[in-house]
Amino acid sequence: MTGLPPADGGAVLARATTDGQGRLVDADEPLLGLHLRCGGELPGALAIPALREAVERACATGLKRAAPLIAQDGSEMVTAWVEIEPVAGADGGCQIAVRQWHTLPATPEDERVAARRRARLARQTAEFTARLDARQCVVVAEGHAPDLAGLAERMITQPARPWTEFVTIEGSAHHQPLHWRLLDGAPVRIAGSERAWRAVLLPVGEPAGAPTGFELHFVADTPFPTPAEIGASHGKGKTGSEPARMIGREVAPVLRQPIARIVANAETIRSRLMGPLAEEYSGYAADIAAAGQHLLALIDDLTDLEVVESAEFTTSPDRIDLAEVARQAAGILGVKSRERGIEIDAPKLGESLAATAEFRRVLQVLLNLIGNALRYAPEGSQVWIRLEQDGGFARVIVADQGPGLDAAQQARVFEKFERLGRSGDGGSGLGLYISRRLARAMGGELSVESAPGQGARFILSVPAASSAAAA
C-alpha cells in the first residue's frame, strides 16, 4: 500500500540504503538486526520479504512510498512504518527511513501450526520435489510434471550440486551460497517448461538448531495443459485416426513414479541420511540407484523415439542463440566433466549465433552430443564446442579427443539401437538416432567427421535466422 506517514509523524529511528540491484548496503539498528536475523548479510540481498517487495515497487515506479512493515524473525513480531525514496541516477537504489518500530513476542504454537499447514500445502500441490543437504545441494529428486522431466534427469544424474544451478531465479543475479530464507518463495524459471514456478524450501531438523537439510518443492501457477489443450494450441485436435503412443501415454507415466521412488530411497540409504550404514550396503544402494537411473533414461529414450517417429511430430521453431544453448548444455554437464577431469571449452560470453530452431530440442541434441564426448574422451582431455555459419545454416560443432570412428562406424553410428560394441554404460543406442531425427525435423542435419585415433566432430546444423528476423 502507499500513503502519507502516520499523523503523529515521528523522528527517524533508523536509515538504510539499497543499491541498484536491490542489495542492502548499509543500515542502522534495529533494521540491521532484523535483516541479519532473517538470514541476510551486509552488503547482501534484502532478507525481510515485506521490505524487499516495497523496495522493488518503489524502484519500478520511481515514486516515493510510505508503507507499514510487518515481519517476523522467528522470535519476535515486528511492526514498523517505513518511507522508501528511489535515488535518481545510473546506479539507482533507494533510501529507507524507519519512523516507528514496535515488537511483540511471536506465538510459538501459532508459528508451528502455520509451518505445518504450509508444509502440507506445498507437498500436496508440488509437481517436483527434491531432498537437499544442509548446503542446499541435491541429494535426490523426483518430478511429476511432464514439462520438468528434463530437470529431474539433470538433478538425478548430477547430484551434489546446489539446486539453484539447475534453475533461473527470477529477478536475482546472486549465486550460492545464499541463505535459504532468501530463496524460499522465490519465482523460478525452468528450462523446458513455459509455466511460472515458485520454490518452497522446508527446513529439516530441530526447530531450534540449524537445518540439517531441506525439502525443495516447485509449485506451478498454472496446471499442465491437457492433451486436448495441447492439440488445440497447435491447431490439431485429437482424432480417432491419431495413432496411439502406448509408451509415452500409458507405460511411461506408470513406470516413472515407482522407479523414481526406488532411486530416491536408494540414494537416501546410500548417503546415510537415515543413519549409519555399513560400507558394503551403501555400495549396494548405489548400484540400485544407478540401475534405476538407467531404467529412467531408457524410458525417456523410448518415449522420445515414439514421439520423433510419429507422423504428426513437428517442432516449434523460434529465433534462438546457439551460443547460449551451447553454454547452458555445457553448464548442465559441468559436474560430469569435472569428475572425469575433462575441460569443456564452450562459446564465450558475448559470442552469439542466431538460428531458427526449437530451443528445447537443440538443447536435447547438444546434451546428447556433449554427454557422448565426455563418455569417450580420455581423462584430462578437452571437449570443444564451436560455432560457425555456413550459408543459410548455423552450425554447432562438438569435438572430442576420443578414439575416433572409422568409415564403417560412421555409417552405422546414427542407426537405431546402435552402440558400436559398448556394454555396461547404460546407454540405449538411441541417443544419436533421436538427435538426427530432431535435427531433420527442425530443417537441419546432424553429421559426423572422424578418423581412428583423431577424435570425432559431431556437427548440428539448423537454419540460420534470416536478416528479416534479426531486424
In this structure, what C-alpha cell is assigned to residue 192? 523446458
Q: Indicate the residue among 276, 308, 340 that finishes a domain.
A: 308
Residue-range definition of the domain harbouring residue 63: 14-105
pTM for this prediction? 0.48
Residue 255 maps to a domain? yes
Taking the CA of residue 336 as centre, how many other CA atoms within 13 Å lie in the half-sphere pointing to its CB?
21
Whether the CB-CB separation of 317 and 442 falls below 8 Å is answered with yes
User: Which of 316, 371, 319, 324 lies closest to 349, judged by CA?
Assistant: 324
Indicate if 302 and 392 belong to the same structural domain. no
Strands 76-86 and 187-189: unpaired
And the C-alpha cell for 323? 551460443
Calculate the dihedral angle through the C-alpha atoms of 261, 265, 271, 273, rounding to the nearest 10 degrees.
120
Final residue in a domain of this structure, among 282, 308, 334: 308
Q: Are strands 65-72 and 76-86 parallel, antiparallel or unpaired?
A: antiparallel
- Regarding whether 216 and 69 lie in a shared domain, the answer is no
Torsion angle defined by CA atoms of residues 333, 338, 339 and 344, in that order, rounded to the nearest 10 degrees: 60
Say yes or no: 65 and 135 in one domain: no
Tell me whether residue 334 is in a domain.
yes
Q: Give the total number of structural domains in the chain.
A: 3
Q: Are residues 436 and 330 part of one domain?
A: yes
| Residue 199 near residue 186 (C-beta atoms within 8 A) | yes
Where residue 344 sits, what CATH number does that domain have? 3.30.565.10
d(CA 175, CA 169): 9
Residues 149, 215, single domain; the answer is yes
Any domain includes 450 = yes
Residue 313 lies in a domain: no
Please list the pLDDT of the chain residue by residue as tens digits (471 residues): 333 344 345 688 999 999 887 889 999 999 998 888 887 888 888 888 778 878 887 887 777 888 778 777 766 778 888 899 988 776 778 999 998 888 877 555 455 655 666 676 677 677 888 888 888 988 888 877 788 888 888 887 777 789 999 998 876 555 555 778 888 888 899 988 888 888 999 888 655 567 888 889 998 877 666 444 445 444 444 444 344 456 655 666 667 667 776 777 777 677 665 556 677 777 777 778 777 777 777 777 787 787 788 877 888 888 999 999 999 888 878 878 888 899 999 999 899 999 999 988 898 899 999 988 998 889 999 999 999 998 899 999 999 999 999 888 998 889 887 766 444 454 667 889 999 999 999 999 999 999 888 899 999 999 998 754 443
Please report, for residues 4, 76, 171, 223, 291, the alpha-carbon distance to residue 102 in angstroms, rounded to integers and kept in the order given. Answer: 19, 10, 31, 41, 57
Same structural domain for residues 27 and 119?
no
Cβ atoms within 10 Å of 420's Cβ, excluding its own: 14
Q: Do residue 355 and residue 454 come from a single domain?
A: yes
Do 387 and 293 share a structural domain? no
At 296, the amino acid letter reads L
The answer to whether 380 and 341 have CB atoms below 8 angstroms apart is yes
